[in-house]
Every structure is written in structure tokens, then in C-alpha cells.
Amino acid sequence: MTAISDDERRITIDATALHDHCVALLRALGVAPADADVTAAVFVEAELMGEESHGLRLFLHVLGRLEAGGDRAATSITVVRDRGAIALWDAERSLGQVTAVRAMARAIEKAREHGIGLVAVRNGNSLTSAKHYALQAARAGLIGIVTTNTSRRLMPPPGGRTPVLGNNPVAVAAPAGRHGCFALDMACTAAAVERILRARDLGIPIPPGWALDRDGRDTTDPAAALESLSLLPFGGYKAFGIAMVHEIITSVLAGGPMRGGGGTGFQPYDGPMHTAFTLQAIDIEAFQPRAAFEQRMEEFLDAITAVEPIEPGGRIVFPGERAQAEQARRRRDGIPVVAQTVETLGAWAAKLGVEAPLGA
């Protein structure tokens, strides 16, 4: 069932209906049922959490890559090494979402045996939402840590003008008792490309410190920033150093192409992405009873959120809190999807012969 809101140009869609529709599109492109279910769940969860930059917008790119062969519909993962608490996989351009879910599942298995588990992956496609896989561990009662490099070079070193690293995000999640889960997910650039696109569309400047123009100068013009695609790290050299660490424990460690290795990003759709990611799980029970840990997490987060806000009527929140609340609301009330996105999904449905397109 859908509800149309013309003033916002959005269509509200039930989460289950959206998930089933995404599965049908993936199946029509040759993805196995279980893999289609896993992949759809990643993108729908991003929409549920209000993180549209990692939701259907990227799902449409994955459809294009499946059709063109950039992402392989049939999962083909080679286990290069599996020893003790670690494993090394070659994803061979399989769907990033399927690869990452399987890798975290293996890391959880290893953590329950050894106290910690780590799976490094090379030659992957984008896993899109690092937080999804960190939460996979947290919901199983472990701490999850996910790092990835990216296929497009977006960030120059401090003092340089040529991008040499991607935004190399990290996600960390942990069970937190009555607070649900702590979930931090952040890239190393001061702002995401999507925010710069939004500023361009609204005709407003971007803040200083977000991006450079083609001449290597700080710019507040979103068009100049998008032309150069040279984004600045938050905190200057500190975040650039963090991005280097993420590169070391992903592509350098896994033996994959470094710094994207000439990867194309999502487009062209038949191009390689050359991403590498590392998924880690820590078994809380190896250190203390899970119930004791979650009680300590409650006390910890209570202390953070109890701080008096600067603005009257404000409230301090912890990483992941807003997303959890939005997820519950959208699961209950439906997901407001941009009408143009619904139309594009409908075009894919018609093209692939999938019945009952959304919004019909």
C-alpha cells in the first residue's frame, strides 16, 4: 500500500513491500534468492534509517552494474587463507553486500571460537553501508568493526591538490542494553559528495573546508567542488592519517589494489571497483558476561546523554540513536521515497518484466 504526498514529491511505501520489490528486480537480473534477500535488506535498512545517500540511490547503480557485468550476479568468493582467528577472501567482483554479510558471519564464528575474528576481503565491489555489517555483529551480541577503502580517489593529502585516497569510512557497533545499539559510521572527508550535490541543487554555497577547486584552492562553490571531486578531510591531517590507517588494514593488508587501484567507482557500470574491506568481530563473552557489558554500556551512554545541552530544549544523543528511532518510525509508517526514484524503479520493473511496480 502506498500513500502519495505531492507537496514533498515523495511516495510512502511499506518497508516489506519495498524489500520484496528490490528482491524481485535482483532476481530478474540473475541474483540467487538468498543473495537477493541479503542485498535488498542492506539498501532498505539504509532507507529505514533515513540514510538515503546509501539507500535506493545506490541500489539503482547496483542494478545498472549487474546488467552491465560490473557486479557479478553469481557470487564467487575464493578463500585465499583461513587460519585461526583470521581469513582472507578474494571477492572476484561479487556483490559487495553479499560478500560483506558472509564475511561478517565468518568473523563472528571465529570470534566465538577465538575471542576475536577478522576477515579481510580484496577485489570487492562497494559494500555501500559499513554500519549494516557492524550492526550484524552487535545484534548477535558482539562488537563489530568494519573498515573499507573506496574505488574513487576523492581526498588529497594536506597541502596537496591531487586526490590520492577515498573517503575510507569506518563503522563500529556494540550492543547497549535498553539503548539498543551504539553505532558509529563515518567517512574521513569533511562532507559527503551527496551534501555537495544537495547544495548545488539548492543554489547555496558550501562551507569553507569542504572541498578544493581544480586549482587546489578552498572553494565554497559546489559546482567547482563537483568538477574537481577533491574533498578535504575533517580535522585536516588527523582524518587523512585515519584514512591511511584504513587503507593499510584493508587493501594493503589484503593484497588488493591500493588507493582504488584505478577503480571506476559505480560508473561506468561495467568497470571494476577494486575495493577492499576488513570486517572484525569481538566476542564480549571472552572478556565479561554480555549482560554486565550491556549494563556498563547503559551507564556509559546515560552519562553522555545526561550532559546539559547548550541550546535550551536540546538533547544530547549518542551515535546511532537517531537512526534507530527513525527506523522504528519508518517501519511503522512507511518509507517516504522520492517520486523520481519510484519512477526509475518502475522503469526497471517494466524493463525486466517484474510485475506490480511500486506506486501502481
What pTM does this model have? 0.94
Instruction: Say whether pLDDT at 260 is over 80.
Output: no
Q: Residue 231 forms beta bridges with which residues? A: 211
CB 161 within 8 A of CB 212: yes
Q: Which long-range contacts (CB under 8 A, 24 or more apart) does 199-207 make?
A: 200/226
pLDDT at 356: 67
What are 111's three cell numbers? Answer: 570470534
What residue type is 119 in one-letter code? Answer: V
- pLDDT bin (cut points 50, 70, 90) of residue 7 is very low
Q: What pLDDT, in 10s, does the model give residues 307-320? A: 999 999 999 999 99
What residue type is 161 in one-letter code? Answer: R
Beta 2-5 vs 10-13: how paired, if at all? antiparallel
- Mean of the pLDDT values across residues 240-247? 97
Pick from 279, 19, 262, 39: which is nearest to 140 by CA? Answer: 279
162, with CB counted inside 10 A (0-12, 13-18, 19+), is: exposed
User: 7-21, 160-174, 267-281, 283-297 — which is least confidently predicted?
Assistant: 7-21
Q: Is 157 left (phi over 0), alpha (psi -120 to 50) or beta?
A: beta
pLDDT at 197: 82
- pLDDT bin (cut points 50, 70, 90) of residue 2 is very low
User: Structural domains in the chain?
Assistant: 2-68+335-352 (1.10.1530.10), 78-188+235-290 (3.30.1370.60), 190-232 (3.30.60.50)
Instruction: Say whether pLDDT at 5 is over 50.
Output: no
pLDDT at 6: 41
| E strand spans, 65-186 | 78-83, 86-90, 116-124, 142-148, 170-175, 181-186
CB 190 within 8 A of CB 216: no
CB 101 within 8 A of CB 69: no
- Mean of the pLDDT values across residues 168-186? 98
